[in-house]
Amino acid sequence: MANLFPVRLGIESGLNSDLAVRVVERVKAGNPKVEIVGDYKKGVTKLVQLPPTPKKSIEKETWIANKRSMVLRNKQKDHKGTNLRFIHVFISVEKAREGYQYALKPELECPYYCEFCYLQATLKENPVPTIFANFQDEGVLVREIKIGLLGMHMYTQVHGIQSNIKRHGKKRLHQLLRVLEKSIPEATLEEAIHEIFTKYKSEIKRNLEDWSLEHFQSIIAHFDKFDFKDIKRKFHFNNGDLNDGMANDHLTDNLKFLVGIFGNEVMKKDGGQLLIRTKSENIENLEDLDPNGNVIYSVTPGTSYFSKGVPNYKARLKAAATLLKRGYLIRVNIDPILKYPDTVKQYKPILEEIREVMDTNAPNFERITLGMLRFSDSNIEKIVRKRHPDLYQHYKNNMVDKYEDEEKSRYERQFRVDTYKALKDYAEEIMPGVTVRLSTEAVSVWKDMGLTWE
């Protein structure tokens, strides 16, 4: 599938980074007819103007017009959360199993048209695909990643690991990151986090005490016991939570930049690991890089009437198979599975294609994960109902009210368990030894499957 280029590009005034220049040049080369909107200011009303459109279609047509556009601007500090620019603590809702990780923010949104995408609610105020022109400032990003790792290791060495970090954990960790951000003025790639902690130890402790938060007392009490020299636990930095991790890489070269950081041996020993999540096959920049066993490529190969503009699943799996041979850690994330008259039959060909193109016994093939369609109230009622009537009808016909331990609407619990079991059994039958896990499912469903999240 050909690389995608926007039909209109909004450019914030004053941009002069190499990344900004690169994106503009490549957009113009890829689409000589692109409409340039100079001196762009945050917001979309000046960027997207629709032709006369029937009222019943305006929601969807606006969404499509936004998807075909792009904004290039600088990312400012997040003063409400961490006072950082490019990372925030990822949180999974409900009593779901989800590893502790950070979301990276090199971009927002993506150019694909997946009607079920949760970003329609998450980014409802900023629906245009956006590239941050200051992302490739190594001094800024490396410092934030080191601060993030130090904070996560401190938090988990005191509080341990649960099924997910939960909202109160996210809030407390963000507060800890603000202390570390205030205490650590700089950090380099070759500095281990135990060296950074030692260098700024007195400032960190003083700022923790000055904040006077009750939940910091456990951190302070443990302060002299922290150990960052022999780290076993890995924490992911997820490039693909607020964007597609690869779809715009032919414009940005962000993955060259990120693999250079996470392929570093010191970063690897600090426990920082890059996770790339994508529906793309746009892997050209990754093929000749050395991931040093520390970059996970997670491809989503689903098939769906409600997913538009993405490469077909065979192309996506072929791209992942290429990277498997290049030493990347590979995960295949079949999510969201949709309910069909014969759901298992619908998804078996994907498992068969995995077997066909990949060596699932290779040490760097990590696992297959299975997940199902789910909706938050804000997404399904406020957005999908207006924008995607066929998908909304699928929801009304097939999905049930939230279970006690689930904050999102999903398919009936027994259907999910039965479908997961059938697909897991089939995967293990045709690919002996393969590991199958669940994606963003309640711990109770893991237990019904005979799986454990620990």
Banded model confidence at residue 414, pLDDT cuts 50, 70, 90: very high
Mean pLDDT value of segment 189-213:
96
Mean pLDDT value of segment 96-119:
92
Q: Which DSSP category does 332 fall into? A: E
- The pLDDT score that the predictor gives to residue 406 is 80
Mean pLDDT value of segment 74-96:
87
Q: Is the pLDDT of residue 22 over 70?
A: yes
Q: Is the pLDDT of residue 43 over 60?
A: no
Instruction: Give the separation between CA 150 and CA 202, rounded to whole angstroms.
Output: 15
Mean pLDDT value of segment 425-434:
98
Buried b (16+ CB within 10 A) or exposed e, 401-411: ebbeebebbbb
- The pLDDT score that the predictor gives to residue 442 is 86
- Range in 184-198, 375-389, 398-412 with the lowest mean pLDDT: 398-412
Terminal Cα-to-Cα distance of the chain (whole angstroms)? 39
- The pLDDT score that the predictor gives to residue 80 is 82
Amino acid at 159: H
Highest mean pLDDT among 142-151, 399-408, 434-443: 142-151
pTM above 0.85, yes or no: yes
Q: Is the pLDDT of residue 443 over 90?
A: no
Banded model confidence at residue 362, pLDDT cuts 50, 70, 90: very high
Banded model confidence at residue 46, pLDDT cuts 50, 70, 90: low
* Nearest partner of 285 among 315, 255, 243, judged by Cα: 255
- The pLDDT score that the predictor gives to residue 283 is 97
Report the mean per-residue pLDDT for the chain: 92
* H/E segment holding residue 272: strand 272-278
Q: pLDDT by residue (tens digit) across 262-274? A: 999 999 999 999 9
- The pLDDT score that the predictor gives to residue 96 is 78
Q: Which DSSP category does 96 fall into? A: B
Instruction: Give the separation between CA 439 and CA 446, rounded to whole angstroms.
Output: 10
Instruction: Give the separation between CA 57 and CA 44, rounded to whole angstroms.
Output: 18
% of the chain beyond a pLDDT of 90: 77
- The pLDDT score that the predictor gives to residue 5 is 96
Contact at 8 Å (CB) between 233 and 208?
no
Q: Is the pLDDT of residue 53 over 60?
A: no
- Range in 118-122, 206-210, 301-305 with the lowest mean pLDDT: 301-305
- The pLDDT score that the predictor gives to residue 39 is 78
Q: Which residue has better confidence, 409 or 349?
A: 349
- The pLDDT score that the predictor gives to residue 308 is 86
Phi (first) and psi of residue 321, to 5 degrees: -65, -35
Per DSSP (E only), the strands in 325-373 are 329-337, 365-372
Mean pLDDT value of segment 103-124:
91
Instruction: Give the separation between CA 201 and CA 194, rounded to whole angstroms.
Output: 10
Mean pLDDT value of segment 393-399:
95
Contacts of residue 166, defined as CB under 8 A and 6 or more positions apart, other chains included, come to: 91
- The pLDDT score that the predictor gives to residue 400 is 84
Banded model confidence at residue 56, pLDDT cuts 50, 70, 90: low
Residue 239 burial (C-beta neighbours within 10 Å; 0-12, 13-18, 19+): buried
